[in-house]
């Protein structure tokens, strides 16, 4: 049975049973506390809580849908059998209870078991279920326990689970929640661990796959963490569609079904490696490429924050693996088209998106390729230093992120391939530190206009160039006029830099020229701009310039502009960045104006001319 037929059967069955089909909502979460839609019920939250009237808006209390979802919490697990970033979730709902025969636990269990047995022809003997065993003052789900037996599942195949496994929600901090009852399918001994206790939720194996989660919302979690009975009860169910398809088709994972397999075959054709011996890599590519297709179709573009970061991370992870597998150029074209064709009937927003998605892919690749090569080199030359503990320190990982744009998930891949792990806690600490520093820095250097707020990519690049030019100018001023020159202020936009400094007279024609020439010489020399994170004390002791008006945090970043061949340092400043990587990118530096701002205070305005 192909996935399309399974989906059709699902809708037909529930429509026949009085459910109204509702379309998938956007992948972008309706509520800003999460980035993405992670479950089918999200778009129904207000109905489930009783704030909105389901009858008024849908004409019925019974709904059914196939929802596009995206989860970021297990991204580094993608590649195993069970985790996907993008996936589809099927669900049926019974919202609220009234006297017109609305269903709760009994109806939900009956509908589910009949669909699996009568429509999908799964074997009853292979079905196992779980129920909530009762915990933290919430009673055991006795009713479900009895109902499963009523519908033919014997006690021996009913497992009782804890709050952690069999209590659902709420999606946000507060809201509807309740015990759940999960349906598992026994895939047979060949997937098992042979432990006599093996069963649903087995920690050792995936013999029993969860295919359906029935949530019985009967509580509301309050802000103080306590639970109260909901004024209305709801049934909310979820089926991981990919998993269901793999179970019905008796395939090891969804990757062996027609949802992914044609692409996997195509990847094989585009490299000299086989899926059988490189499953993880092939699966990551297949999963991520599909996710990219959907994210771009929602209007997301790669960036360093929010949705854009997730997209960038997926792209970069693929680009790294693509390099590792030595995939042929343009392999992704067929993959992107494959997914668009496969899904466009369900999701018409995918139509005619092929070129755009290819373009996003190609641009990100162009941007990342060189940094990837350099970063891999650095990783390979350094990681053995940590072979004793086999843990990559957070600082080292953060440097890979900061200097080469390696997403954490990718660094974890690299580490794992060498049998190492990454100190993620330390990485996050570094990340937070950096965020605080760049906030201070952005406010200082850009007069309150943080660089993150600049939307236009080209404008951003210009501002960054002027920032690096400002460092070169300060160093040149001190070299030509003497170290008594002190920065008094600075203002940068995408059209010019403005630098205020202490000096007691007008510059001569000759001095102006010398300063300009020195900056241009250093641009031509193509100096490297290097960033390091250190304590404020270390930074000052190392001779890094600080701006006296600034109050620095205890840990700061220091930018050194130096000749990579000779090691000669031209400029070193405490600064939050960002900067260009190589000074050659700056073009031609020209002082437009030098003027007095008052006693002992001068101002230079300068521009960069693109070459």
Residue ranges that bind Zn ion, judged by CB under 5 A: 193, 198, 202, 204-205, 575
Nearer to Zn ion, 203 or 225 (CB): 203
What is the SS3 assignment for 100-138?
A: CCCCCHHHHHHHHHHHHHHHCCCCHHHEEEEEECCECCE
Closer residue to Zn ion in complex, CB, 178/577: 577
Cis peptide before 578 (omega within 30 of 0): yes
Closest approach, Cβ 182 to Zn ion, in A, equals 16
Q: Which three-class secondary structure string do you get for 282-311?
A: HHHHHHHHHHHHHHHHCCCCCCCCHHHHHH
Give the span between the Cα atoms of 270 and 350, in whole angstroms.
25
Nearest distance, CB of residue 308 and Zn ion, angstroms: 25
Min separation Cβ 436 and Zn ion, Å: 16
Q: Which is nearer to Zn ion, 312 or 471 (CB)?
A: 471
Residue with smaller CB distance to Zn ion, 62 or 187: 187
- Tell me how far, at minimum, the Cβ of 461 lies from Zn ion, in Å: 16
Specify the pairing of strand 127-132 against strand 158-161.
parallel
CB atoms under 10 Å from CB of 85, counted, come to 24
Cis, bond preceding 114 (omega within 30 deg of 0): no
Shortest Å, Cβ 199 to Zn ion: 7
Q: Which is nearer to Zn ion, 9 or 433 (CB)?
A: 433
Q: Which lies closer to Zn ion via its Cβ, residue 90 or residue 576?
A: 576
Q: Contact, 407 vs 317, CB < 8 A? A: yes
371-376 CB contacts, 8 Å cutoff, 24+ apart: 371/403, 371/404, 371/405, 372/316, 372/319, 372/320, 372/323, 372/404, 372/406, 374/404, 375/400, 375/403, 375/404, 375/405, 375/406, 376/320, 376/414
Q: Name the β-bridge partners of 473.
A: none
Going across the sheet that includes 528-535, the strands are: 528-535, 555-562, 569-574
Q: Which is nearer to Zn ion, 186 or 287 (CB)?
A: 186
> Least CB distance from residue 209 to Zn ion, whole Å?
12
- CA 149 to chain CA centroid, Å, is 42
Cα distances from 44 to residues 30, 41, 51, 92, 169, in angstroms, run: 10, 5, 10, 11, 14
CB of 547 to Zn ion, least distance (A): 9
Measured from the CB of residue 437, what is the shortest distance to Zn ion in angstroms? 11
CB 202, min distance to Zn ion, A? 3
| Separation between Cα atoms, residue 176 and residue 232, nearest integer Å | 10
287 or 573: CB nearest Zn ion:
573
Measured from the CB atom, the residue of 125 and 355 that comes closer to Zn ion is: 125
CB of 313 or CB of 558, closer to Zn ion: 558
The minimum distance between CB 153 and Zn ion, in angstroms, equals 19
State which H helix or E strand residue 583 sits in.
none
How near is the Cβ of 156 to Zn ion at its closest, in Å?
16
Burial of 70 from C-beta contacts in 10 A (0-12 / 13-18 / 19+): buried
**Residues 523 and 587: beta-carbon distance below 8 Å:** yes
Of 35 and 193, CB closest to Zn ion: 193
| Cα separations in angstroms, 165 against 132, 179, 316, 436 | 8, 9, 33, 37
Comparison of 193 and 461: residue with beta carbon closer to Zn ion: 193
450: exposed, middle or buried (Cβ count in 10 Å: 0-12, 13-18, 19+): middle
| Minimum distance from residue 579 beta carbon to Zn ion (Å) | 7
Is the Cα torsion angle 461, 462, 467, 469 positive or negative in sign?
Answer: positive
> What distance in Å separates the CA atoms of residue 308 and residue 261, rounded to the nearest whole number?
28
- Whether residue 244 contacts residue 232, with contact meaning beta carbons closer than 8 Å, is answered with no
Q: How far is the CB of 548 from Zn ion (least distance, A)?
A: 14
Yes or no: say if 229 and 254 are a contact pair by the CB < 8 Å rule.
Answer: no
Which residue number, 292 or 488, has a Cβ lying nearer to Zn ion?
488
């Amino acid at each position: 049975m192909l996935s399309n037929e399974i989906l059709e059967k699902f809708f037909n069955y529930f429509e026949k049973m009085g459910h109204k089909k509702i379309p998938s909502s956007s992948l972008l979460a309706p509520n800003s506390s999460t980035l993405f839609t992670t479950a089918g019920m999200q778009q129904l939250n207000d109905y489930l809580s009783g704030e909105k009237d389901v009858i008024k808006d849908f004409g019925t209390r019974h709904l059914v849908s196939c929802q596009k979802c995206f989860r970021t919490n297990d991204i580094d697990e993608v590649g195993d059998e069970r985790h996907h970033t993008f996936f589809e979730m099927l669900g049926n709902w019974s919202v609220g209870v009234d006297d017109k025969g609305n269903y709760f636990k009994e109806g939900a269990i009956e509908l589910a078991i009949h669909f699996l047995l009568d429509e999908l022809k799964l074997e009853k003997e292979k079905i196992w279920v779980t129920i909530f065993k009762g915990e933290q003052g919430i009673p055991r789900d006795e009713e479900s326990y009895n109902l499963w037996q009523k519908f033919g599942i014997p006690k021996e195949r009913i497992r009782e689970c804890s709050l952690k496994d069999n209590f659902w929600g709420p999606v946000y901090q507060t809201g509807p929640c309740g015990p759940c009852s999960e349906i598992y399918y026994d895939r047979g001994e060949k997937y098992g661990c042979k432990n006599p206790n093996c069963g649903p939720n087995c920690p050792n194996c995936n013999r029993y796959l969860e295919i359906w989660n029935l949530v019985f919302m009967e509580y509301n979690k309050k802000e103080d963490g306590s639970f109260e009975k909901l004024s209305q009860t709801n049934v909310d169910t979820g089926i991981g569609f990919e998993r269901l398809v793999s179970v019905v088709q008796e395939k090891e994972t969804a990757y062996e079904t027609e949802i992914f397999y044609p692409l996997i075959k195509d990847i094989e054709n585009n490299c000299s490696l086989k899926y059988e011996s490189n499953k993880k890599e092939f699966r990551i590519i297949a999963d991520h490429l599909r996710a990219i297709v959907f994210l771009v179709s929602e209007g997301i573009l790669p960036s360093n924050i929010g949705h854009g970061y997730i997209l960038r991370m997926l792209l970069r992870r693929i680009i790294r693996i693509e390099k590792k597998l030595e995939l042929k150029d343009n392999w992704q074209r067929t993959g992107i088209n494959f997914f668009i064709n496969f899904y466009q009937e369900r999701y018409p927003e995918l139509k005619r998106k092929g070129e755009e998605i290819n373009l996003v892919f190609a641009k990100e690749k162009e941007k990342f390729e060189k940094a990837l090569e350099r970063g891999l080199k650095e990783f390979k030359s350094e990681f053995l230093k940590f072979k004793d503990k086999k843990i990559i320190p957070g600082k080292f990982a953060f440097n890979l992120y900061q200097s080469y744009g390696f997403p954490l998930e990718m660094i974890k891949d690299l580490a794992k391939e060498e049998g190492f792990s990454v100190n993620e806690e330390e990485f996050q600490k570094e990340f937070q530190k950096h965020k605080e520093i760049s906030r201070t820095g952005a406010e200082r250097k850009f007069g309150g206009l943080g660089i993150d707020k600049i939307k236009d990519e080209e404008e951003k690049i210009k501002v960054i160039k002027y920032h690096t030019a400002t460092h070169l100018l300060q160093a040149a001023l001190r070299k030509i006029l003497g170290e008594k020159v002190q920065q008094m202020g600075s203002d940068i936009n995408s059209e010019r830099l403005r630098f205020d400094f202490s000096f007691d007279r007008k510059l001569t024609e000759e001095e102006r020229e010398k300063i300009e020439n020195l900056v241009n010489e250093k641009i031509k020399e193509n100096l490297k701009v290097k960033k390091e994170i250190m304590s404020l004390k270390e930074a000052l002791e190392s001779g890094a310039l600080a701006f006296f008006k600034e109050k620095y945090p205890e840990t700061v970043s220091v930018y050194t502009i130096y000749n990579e061949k000779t090691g000669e340092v031209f400029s070193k400043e405490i600064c939050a960045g960002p900067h260009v990587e190589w000074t050659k990118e700056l073009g031609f530096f020209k002082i437009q104006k030098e003027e007095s701002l008052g006693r002992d205070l001068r101002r230079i305005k300068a521009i960069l001319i693109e070459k």
